[in-house]
A and B are shown apart, each in its own frame.
Chain A
Amino acid sequence: MNSPVCEIKNLHIEYPIAIGTVRAVEDASLNLYPGKVLGLVGESGCGKSTLGLSLLNLVRPPGKVSKGSIIYKGQDILTLPGKKLLKLRGRNISMIFQNPLTSLNPLMKIKDQFYDTMIHHEPGLKKEAAMKRIEELVELLGIEKKRIHEFPHQLSGGMRQRIMIGLALIMKPDILIADEPTTSLDVIVEAGFIELLNQLRQTYNLSVMLISHNLGLVAEIAERVAVMYGGKIVEEGSAESIYSNPLHPYTLGLIQCIPNIKLENQHLFTMPGSPPDLVHPPPGCRFSPRCPKVMAQCRKELPPLIRKNEQKVACWLYRENR
């Protein structure tokens, strides 16, 4: 495999609150490769969105990265001065959010929103040249080019999300972070959007981090999958291996608890309990209070992320392979 475009190393992110510190992300390490999609899955509150935001150094205060680094093109994003960071955001790394209606400016025409981004990164850009580029991109997204003269409210939900991805891609970035991009879309529109994303990442040789709670969606497009639970990455591997041979009991539970339309008379696995409190996480493995295969050691010691075959897993069940 070629070299990663971005390396996240031992990242810790904390939010100090009145009753203590929320350890939103703990010791996360991930690599992003050009032209590949990494799916980051987990339930709400597992830290996946926070991890995504940290790639743009957008973790909102009082939240802060307490340890670790994010290396992009030889420099650590987390220590970049403000001006350089502004140049990086949108140009090298960009992001699309869950709800396009709240991310688009309702008072600006679509073309002006594009132009805004472009003029920020290319001062002195001529309006005509910009329009030509905008029209080309919008057509690539499957939207008629005359629609760029409209306002966001005149577009349908699916079109708005396509405009969002267009805004993210207008500067031809290396990395796209998509945080639950299809949650507000209907199934058919969602499927169309995923096809578009798949096509675009090939055209632009884009590295995509797809953050989602929907394992089905991630299975459609991702080459690699990382599963997060309680702020920690509990398993990582190729999509095929994660889905066909999940090692961590949480990953297995997650896969078995979603109805699969291809299966007959499926029995859903129910996970007892609820996700951990990240201010006072359980000692040992975060998943131990809900784990069907829990052992004495799990409640005492935090399992390290170890390599097992092609996957990486943080579970004491696989300790002998260390």
Chain B
Amino acid sequence: MNELIRVTNLTKLYPVQKSFLDFIFAGGNREYVHAVDSVSFSIRKGEVLGLAGESGSGKSTTGRLILGLIHPTGGMVEYENRDISSLSRKELKTLRAKIQIVFQDPNSSLSPRMSVGEAIEHPLKIHRMGTKHERREKILGLMESIGLTPAGFLYKKYPHQLSGGQTQRVVLARALITDPDFLVADEPIAMADVSVRAMILELMKTLKDNLHLTYLFITHDLATAKYLCDRVAIMYLGRIVEIGERDEIFSYPHHPYTKALLSAVPVPDPGQKRKEKIPQGEIPSAIHPPAGCHFHPRCPYKMPECSREKPLFKDISQSHMSACFL
């Protein structure tokens, strides 16, 4: 298979800030937040991989690690079979034009002092692409194709003069202006209104086909993941607990956490009633994650070995893996 991104045993630990006194009395024992705990997966060219989980599961950190925005504690990210951490600064800069990110809140990721045109032009300037005239033509063309019309009029506008849907489109345009191959979308619709969400999702789907893009789509909403993704990975407390083709995950979920997440998704149909029991409690602290399977304290199918050993991935089918002893 044609893999664009391969992630192997990716780990990120954040040291916990401690006061001087704690340091003296507790001895030199540093504690760590296990944000991402040896995560491995790959994304094929032209595919949308959904990374789903509750807040604090490490999905955004994973996205940032792949882009090299933060450095991993361990493990490796490969882009077209090249280890990202082995690249020189210059090579990394070239690569950055090819991998882009869209953040959750469009308003806080746009500078209020930059007009729409300037914001979209910024990546081109950083990567020294094109002449001033060429850049303008390219920006106007992209704005048209992304639905930011009339482009000439909006070009000079500032973020506060735009609607919610338009700001999200500007952020998308800025990510796409350098002709990337790979886009990390970190909850791009979480802040948007219901009618805007559908618009952004539809747009992302069209853009993917037209521009041959590959997405890592980070979301906490499984219904959205089902709509947009080809494959889905479910994360819990820094680990991937289940990964597989979309239809397999949604039709035959294996891991109890996946089942719980699926049954918790509200369905816009009063006739549908919930079948699975909702697990008690909330996601535990990532400083002292539970031993063995991280989900065992909340799991309705808990067995003795779950609190002792970390369950390894096993194949449910050819394209579906789950980390559970069941």
Contacts and interface: CB of A to CB of B under 8 A. Distances in A.
B279 A258 contact: no
B280 A192 contact: yes
Interface string A120-153: 0000000000000000000000100000000000
Given A190-B264, A261-B226, A43 B279 contact: no
A187 B194 contact: no
Nearest to B224: A259
B278 A274 contact: no
A270 B221 CA distance: 19
Contacts of A240: 270-271
Which 6 pairs show the lowest CB-CB distances between chains A and B? A216-B266, A257-B198, A191-B264, A259-B227, A259-B223, A186-B54
B197 to A, nearest CB: 7
A274 B264 CA distance: 30
B193 interface: yes
A262 B272 CA distance: 9
A157 interface: yes
A187 B268 contact: no
B100 to A, nearest CB: 24
B282 interface: yes
Nearest to A42: B194
Nearest to A257: B198
Contacts of B224: 259
B270 A257 contact: no
A303 B115 CA distance: 40
Contacts of B263: 191
Interface of B: 54-55, 163-165, 193-199, 201-202, 220-224, 226-227, 250, 260-272, 274, 278-280, 282-283
B279 A188 contact: yes
25 contacts: A43-B193, A43-B194, A186-B54, A186-B283, A187-B222, A188-B54, A189-B282, A190-B264, A191-B264, A194-B266, A216-B265, A219-B269, A219-B270, A243-B268, A253-B195, A254-B194, A254-B195, A257-B198, A259-B223, A261-B222, A261-B223, A261-B226, A268-B202, A270-B199, A271-B198
A288 to B, nearest CB: 15
Given A213-B194, A259-B223, A261-B226, A186 B270 contact: no
A216 B278 contact: no
B267 A219 contact: yes
A220 interface: yes
A187 B260 CA distance: 10
Interface string A245-260: 0000000011101111
B199 A271 contact: yes
Contacts of B282: 156-159, 186, 188-189
Contacts of B271: 240, 243-244
Nearest to A190: B264
A191 B274 CA distance: 10
Contacts of B283: 186
Contacts of A274: 163-165, 195-196
Contact of B197 (A195, A244, A257): A257
A44 B193 contact: yes
Contacts of A258: 194, 197-198, 223, 268
A215 interface: yes
A318 interface: no
Nearest to A269: B198
A259 B220 CA distance: 13
B266 A214 contact: yes
A141 B260 CA distance: 21
Interface string A28-56: 00000000000000011000000000000
Contacts of B262: 261
Nearest to A255: B268
Contact of B54 (A187, A244, A271, A275): A187
A239 interface: yes
Contact of B270 (A44, A158, A243): A243
B182 to A, nearest CB: 23
B222 A268 contact: no
A266 B268 CA distance: 13
Contacts of B197: 257-258
A186 B220 contact: yes
Nearest to A193: B278
Contacts of A239: 270
Contacts of A261: 222-223, 226, 250, 262, 265, 267
A217 interface: yes
A254 B193 CA distance: 11
Contacts of B165: 274
Interface string A266-302: 1011110011000000000000000000000000000
B227 A262 contact: no
Contacts of A269: 198
A209 to B, nearest CB: 17
B278 A217 contact: no
Contact of B261 (A187, A192, A268): A187
Contacts of B279: 188
Contacts of B195: 43, 253-254, 257, 270-271, 274-275
Nearest to B298: A188
Give the interface centre of B165, B194, B268 by most chain A CB atoms within 10 Å.
Answer: B268
